[in-house]
Structure 1
Amino acid sequence: MPLLGGVRPPIASLILLLLLVAALTVVGLGGIHAEHVPQAVRTSEQRIAADTALSVRTTIDAEAGAVRRTAAAYTATSTSTPASTLKALTAASKADRGAVLLDAHTGRLLASGGGPVTLAGVKAAEMTSGHGPIPPRLVTSAGARQLLYFARVTLPAQKVDANQDQNQVPSGTERQWLLAVSEALPAVTTYGDGRTAVVLDASGKALVTASHGTPSPDAAGGALPMATARAVSASGQGTDASGNLLGAATGARRTVAGWAQVASATGPGDTDGLGLVVLTSRAVPTTTADAADYWSFALAAAAALVVVVLLLWSALHFLVQRPLLRLYLSAGRLARGASESGPAAAAELARPVPVHGFGELARIGRLLESLRRQLLGESGPQEFPARRGPGYRALAALGVLLVACWAVPMIFMLNRADTATAVPAPVLADQQTRAELAANRVRQSLDQSYADLSDVAGNLPGRSRDAQTELLRHTLAEHKQYRSLYLLDRSGAITLRVGDTPLRTLVHVPGGGGVTTVNTSGRIPAIASYTQVRAVKGASPAAGVVLFGEIDVKSLNSILNRPDLGSVWVTDADCKVLAASVGYRAFQSLPDAGLTRLARAAQSAPGTAGTATSTVLSSSSGPSVDAAAPLAQSGPTAHLGWRVVTAEPAAALRLPAVQAQQRTMLAGILALAFSTACLGWLHVVVIRPLRAVAVLGEKLASGDRRTVLHPVNHDEVGSVTRGLELMRQALAERGRAGRSGQTADPGRSRRENTLQR
């Protein structure tokens, strides 16, 4: 018998697969246990630490880039001195940070200003020998850890400072100075009541600490920082690895912590060599250990499925498999008796054909008995009734229905997670925190684009048109978030543009500066930063009065995509989508009315401070943990009234109730799918061919000697078909012999077929 043919393989596969589902039900559901701190809470804290580390990294990268851009934009002249150069480079800097200029070849201090700058370990010649950007360094100044940012300052070839050694630099060669700026570590923004965020160095020492509400007891000075240092050491320095830890328990609460390295995830970056780590922690209520125990349910469900399997096996074995095998033997015996001669053949035909089973098998058994009697000459053709009882198709359908009685409740009714209680309060609070962090990232990006544009606008006055064009091109190449940069005059016409054609421009030239949406419809939202270009008395005027930088919405979309945050949308004041981490249509409404209500609750009107909010919403796809947060409370984006809305399906969270529902549904789906597939397989290879053989066999028993019966499959049904064909040939030969008056030879047809082959 072929591997996929016959009656045995589909029945055996059905039984084995259903027993496998029963075993998986025990293993899958029995392995779900309640934890004192759910894994979803620990994972959320880890993601919050990673999001906070991303904000710290973005701030450091932006500061390092600003120092380099300031140095690159400075144009040294023959009259430039170290003191005047340093003053020009730090004119717009913070008052409390220090800055120095060093000779790039000798490392000698040329000028200093502001606060103290620690230069221990700074080797100017080595640092300026390469061509790439010089990464920041973490140094200790006056007992506090600070960051040193570096940039090269290029001088014209003819400029050589009188205080420098003329013999060390040949006349006519270009000189370089090294700018070093010392600044405190960036502040950390924390969200969520009771959460503490700490920036640690590689040894686990706290450098920056911030908390919101009452901090956890062991947030900064307990065992968590040292445990974090060990975890970071095990994961390797200079990576964006993250993890979670459990701290001390106090009463019914326990500290859960997450850590993440402040390192670039896309390649070498400014923060890779700093060894900074962000540690966030907060105390959460613990759950009881016996809150969820699914062992008893798993055993009961598996036992019920085993009973179903036994019923199916009994029905298929005793009603299909055994009768078919007996019929197969009977058909072979009659075929030998019909195609051979002698006493042995007569003995084969002398034994009656027992009728087993029902439906098609019973019909074939009766027609075989009729053919046996016709071969013996005991009777003539026999008519069979047209109306018949239920067949094996009904048995297969009843088998699927029997499994469905077990599977349907598993899929739709049992272990259903309660929307109100399935998601713990800490998980809901963490989703709100992550929404606020996402809003902070978007705000940082938009604020930085405005700050960069303001720096460019400050360098436009006094330059020729070609120089202004070159400056805008350089800015566009350096800042990938812009689609285009252009200048508008008083009439709103574009007087200078680099990059792509703007999606749309404002008709009325705005005053001041900030971020705005230029259109309210279309395929792509037009979001732009803008700032005024000041006029310089006695110098060449700028080509326009307002500088616009159109922001590529793809850069905003990339900011929103974070692990385990779900779908994220940025909406305008009317709750229309401007950017998203998933596919969307510009200016469409949020995909659910509940999300729209949540977004409106986060901020009532543009310019208001707003309050982040979160909830659990139910939909056709199941419950989801949703949160909304206002984009900004201050700065150039505060007047927009934008929100950030997040929606994470509860099915993606590792919650016991949700896991139990998922695995219960999976067991039901597998059982229903396996039973349908295997019984469908049985229908294709056994039941449907049996029906066809029964119809042809009844025609043969009724006197049809001309219709040839062709066996389709090499299995039991095919053997029965071949036996019927041999009996047809014997009966046809007997009929021809009777009409010609000759004695029929039962073996003649077989000999003729053998000679033909």
Structure 2
Amino acid sequence: MRPPIASLVVLLLVVAALTVIGLDGVHAEQVPQAVLNGEQQIAADTALSIRTTIDLEASTVRRTAGAYPATSTSTPATALKALTWAKKGVLGSALLDPHTGKLLAAGGKPAPLAGVNVARTASGHGAIQPRLVMSGGTPQLLYFAKVTLPTQQEEANQVPSRTERQWLLVVSEALPALTAFGDGRTAEVLDARGEVLATTAHGTASRAAADSGLPAAAARAANGSGRDTDASGSLLGTTAGSRRTVAGWSQVASATGPGDTDDLGLVVLTSRAVPTTTTAADYSRFALEAAGALAGVALLLGLALHFLVQRPLLRLYLSAGRLARGATEDAPTAQAELYRPVPVHGFGEPARIGRALESLRRQLLGRSGPQEFPARRGPGYRALAVAGVLAVACWAAPMIFLLNRADTATAVPAPVLADQQARTEIAAMRIRQSLDQSYTDLSDAAASLPGRSRAAQSEVLQHVLDDHTRYRSLYLLNRSGGITLRVGDTPLRTLLHVPGGGGITTVNTSGRIPAIAAYAQVRAVKNKASAAGVVLFGEIDVKALNSILPRPKLGSVWVTDRGNKVLAASVGYRAFQSLPDSGLARLARSTRGAPGTAGTATSAVLRTSSGLSVDAAAPLAQSGPTARLGWHVVTAEPAAALQIPAVQAEQRTMLAGILGLTVGAACLGWLHVVVIRPLRAVAVLVERLAGADRRTVLHPVNHDEVGSVTRSLELLRQALAERDRAARDGHAAGPSRFLRENTLQR
């Protein structure tokens, strides 16, 4: 019985110490760590958008060059025009001889090729990564691709030459458009030296008010972290009055090995001025008071169990052993033990066993006969264990449910809530860009179909499907809704009525998988049977959308339709299910603006069954092919995952309460299993023995105090059985003699 009691006291004191350590470590800083982490993640999200745009543009240039139907008679001028006519963002372009660097053709503004070793650039195998160059003080990106021409043949014998002709395509474009989200935020693109290449501001932010030392500090931090990872971090700037500049930086580099942006050395820097915290949050006093209360409960429980359980049970153990010796030994000192009354100590089971032992003593001396004990009994040790658990629960329940509860309105700093909204808008932008690109690629494919044969159309669609893994299938629908040509998987569902124009649409409203498709009209060609298919559909794999949504410290992300039904998510979901919380649905509905408008983003702090949650919602698009969908992006980040002092205090207070209640219940449950429950069984057996039940053998189960009492009671049962047998046979012998003879015979 000692280990459970000692463990209860020691572990409760350990929980008290952990309460002091945990809550004493919660302090409110001038700028909460959650604000710094949020700015870091916003910079990382912005860098991801720029990296995705550059990677996409580089792959588009290479894909266009690889798909160009060059012939041996193609001229550089016609080839350059065909390769760049559909690209709107091209500042300049050129075709070069990859061996000599000679300019073969040029278009637009002259491409800034100074400092570019053309021969060395084109000599490597595989894709050529973009270059960052300066032209007239303006940064530009150069994209490269090799244009392979058919092998020239000798006119005389038509034997193929071993010399392969190639041109090097160079396309110069401006840096991707930089967008700042969140009122008062400035976003900048830096080079490896910390020079500002591009900047933009949102709302009341201005570049002049930004901290001039932050770009250099961000560049140094990025250079120190390596250039082949998407490293990011946060910085603190200068203080102006009651506000301080908070900045986040992130490299524009691939996170999964070599990529098109690794050698550019670009760094994204975002910054904004946030109000500093003036009120200090100190939980030391509360921690000491809570720990002192738990220590008091632990000591009181230890004393109560010592005096009410341990000491009575030890005395019972001594009394049972004394009676067993008196009943089984012939020594005069042992026989004298039978004449000493059995003291009754405590209450409950020890008291019941003590009274039964006194009855057995009197029966051994022949002073009384069997005694019946009442069936109804008072509270026992089980009630004591329950009272102990309730005593610990009286301390733990307020810790879990009442004390240090974070206020929904004030616990989460306003900058943290604004950061969640800004990151939700960035997530909506990524989804929108992906869908817009799907529509653009499909429109380009549809523009190349008219006038081609069915086999040629199938070949074009197969190339598009191979180059763009976001599509599940590509198919042509005629005016009656029938599929006339298909490549890829079987469509999940098709539209019965062919829509006009082009855009993004949902094909189904129920089922296991949402069917989302981009569609574009195929221009009809007169007197051509190949014009039977009038609309080209590209069914978008919902897994491609799901893969865009997860971001560190953004929480759960859902894409919902106009009716707030889930179409895609960063977590497990069922297609077309409702949002997991009604508060999220209300938040999504609140983003809708006046009729005819796309609405605005919004955010709120909600209390759910699992605690506070920082949530935000943003409309998917205000223009473009996705504007008519009415979709939303909804995010929910548990406040417990953010380093907010009020939330940390609530979380650690609840944890202390849970630990205390668990320790109390576990140790008292242990005491119940090893002591109380066996003792209750012994009490029932000894009362039966005192009531003339001599046949039930008492088997000791454990080698502890209760087991020793059980062994002593078994000796008493055998002595009483011999006494009763002697009385029936008419023998006048003491119980010890018959017990000894019986033992010798065995």
Between 1:521-530 and 1:8-17, the stretch displaced more is 521-530
Native 8 Å contact 2:317 2:705 kept in 1: yes
1:239 aligns with 2:229: yes
1:430 alignment counterpart: 419
The CA distance in 2 between the partners of 1:425 and 1:588, in whole Å, is 31
Equivalences, count: 742
The CA distance in 2 between the partners of 1:721 and 1:568, in whole Å, is 63
1:187 aligns with 2:181: no
1:93 aligns with 2:87: yes
- Counterpart of 2:676, as a letter, is I
The CA distance in 2 between the partners of 1:725 and 1:675, in whole Å, is 35
Question: Relative to structure 1, is the Cα distance of residues 747 and 714 closer, same or farther in structure 2, using a 3 angstrom cutoff?
Answer: farther
1:78 alignment counterpart: 72
Native 8 Å contact 2:700 2:708 kept in 1: yes
2:698 alignment counterpart: 709
The CA distance in 2 between the partners of 1:256 and 1:12, in whole Å, is 51
Alpha-carbon deviation of 1:126? 4.8
The CA distance in 2 between the partners of 1:217 and 1:254, in whole Å, is 15
The CA distance in 1 between the partners of 2:358 and 2:427, in whole Å, is 80
Q: What's the secondary structure of 1:746's corresponding residue? A: helix
1:443 alignment counterpart: 432
1:62 aligns with 2:56: yes
Question: Relative to structure 1, is the Cα distance of residues 217 and 14 closer, same or farther in structure 2, using a 3 angstrom cutoff?
Answer: farther
The CA distance in 2 between the partners of 1:749 and 1:135, in whole Å, is 100
Q: What's the secondary structure of 1:280's corresponding residue? A: strand
1:279 alignment counterpart: 269
1:373-522 alignment, distance < 5 Å? 373-522=362-511
Give the gaps of 5 or more residues in structure 1: 1-6, 162-168
The CA distance in 2 between the partners of 1:36 and 1:111, in whole Å, is 60
The CA distance in 2 between the partners of 1:19 and 1:256, in whole Å, is 42
1:302 aligns with 2:302: no
2:197 alignment counterpart: 207
Alpha-carbon deviation of 1:345? 2.2
- Counterpart of 2:327, as a letter, is A
Give the gaps of 5 or more residues in structure 2: none
Native 8 Å contact 1:45 1:257 kept in 2: yes
TM-score relative to the length of structure 1: 0.93
Alpha-carbon deviation of 1:128? 4.5
- Counterpart of 1:678, as a letter, is C
The CA distance in 2 between the partners of 1:26 and 1:264, in whole Å, is 44
Native 8 Å contact 2:152 2:160 kept in 1: no
Native 8 Å contact 1:216 1:281 kept in 2: no
Native 8 Å contact 1:338 1:747 kept in 2: no
- Counterpart of 1:188, as a letter, is L
1:21 alignment counterpart: 15
Q: What's the secondary structure of 1:639's corresponding residue? A: helix
The CA distance in 2 between the partners of 1:272 and 1:266, in whole Å, is 11
Q: What's the secondary structure of 2:409's corresponding residue? A: helix
2:135 alignment counterpart: 141
1:259 alignment counterpart: 249
The CA distance in 1 between the partners of 2:220 and 2:738, in whole Å, is 91
- Counterpart of 2:360, as a letter, is L
Question: Relative to structure 1, is the Cα distance of residues 755 and 265 closer, same or farther in structure 2, using a 3 angstrom cutoff?
Answer: farther
Between 1:113-122 and 1:494-503, the stretch displaced more is 113-122
Which string of whole-angstrom CA distances, capped at 9 and with x for unpartnered residues, describes residues 347-398 of structure 1? 4434433222111011112222222333344443333333322111111111
1:47 alignment counterpart: 41
1:332 aligns with 2:321: yes
Q: What do you get for the CA RMSD once the two structures are aligned?
A: 2.5
TM-score relative to the length of structure 2: 0.94
Between 1:319-328 and 1:456-465, the stretch displaced more is 456-465
Alpha-carbon deviation of 1:57? 1.0
1:600 aligns with 2:589: yes
Alpha-carbon deviation of 1:558? 1.8
1:626-637 alignment, distance < 5 Å? 626-637=615-626
Q: What's the secondary structure of 1:486's corresponding residue? A: strand
Alpha-carbon deviation of 1:408? 1.1
The CA distance in 2 between the partners of 1:489 and 1:321, in whole Å, is 89
Which string of whole-angstrom CA distances, capped at 9 and with x for unpartnered residues, describes residues 204-244 of structure 1? 22111111123366776612112212222332211112211
Q: What's the secondary structure of 1:274's corresponding residue? A: coil
1:743 aligns with 2:733: yes
2:3 alignment counterpart: 9
Question: Relative to structure 1, is the Cα distance of residues 203 and 101 closer, same or farther in structure 2, using a 3 angstrom cutoff?
Answer: same
The CA distance in 1 between the partners of 2:445 and 2:119, in whole Å, is 30
Percent sequence identity over matched residues?
75
Question: Relative to structure 1, is the Cα distance of residues 173 and 559 closer, same or farther in structure 2, using a 3 angstrom cutoff?
Answer: same
Alpha-carbon deviation of 1:342? 1.9
Alpha-carbon deviation of 1:590? 2.9
The CA distance in 1 between the partners of 2:550 and 2:378, in whole Å, is 62
Q: Choose the corresponding residue for 2:353, options 338, 342, 364.
A: 364
Which string of whole-angstrom CA distances, capped at 9 and with x for unpartnered residues, describes residues 22-49 of structure 1? 1111111111111111111111111111
Which string of whole-angstrom CA distances, capped at 9 and with x for unpartnered residues, describes residues 517-540 of structure 1? 222333322211111223467988
Question: Relative to structure 1, is the Cα distance of residues 61 and 748 closer, same or farther in structure 2, using a 3 angstrom cutoff?
Answer: farther
Q: What's the secondary structure of 1:725's corresponding residue? A: helix
Between 1:97-106 and 1:543-552, the stretch displaced more is 97-106
Q: What's the secondary structure of 2:145's corresponding residue? A: strand
Native 8 Å contact 2:89 2:173 kept in 1: no
Native 8 Å contact 2:89 2:174 kept in 1: no
1:166 alignment counterpart: none
Between 1:704-713 and 1:110-119, the stretch displaced more is 110-119
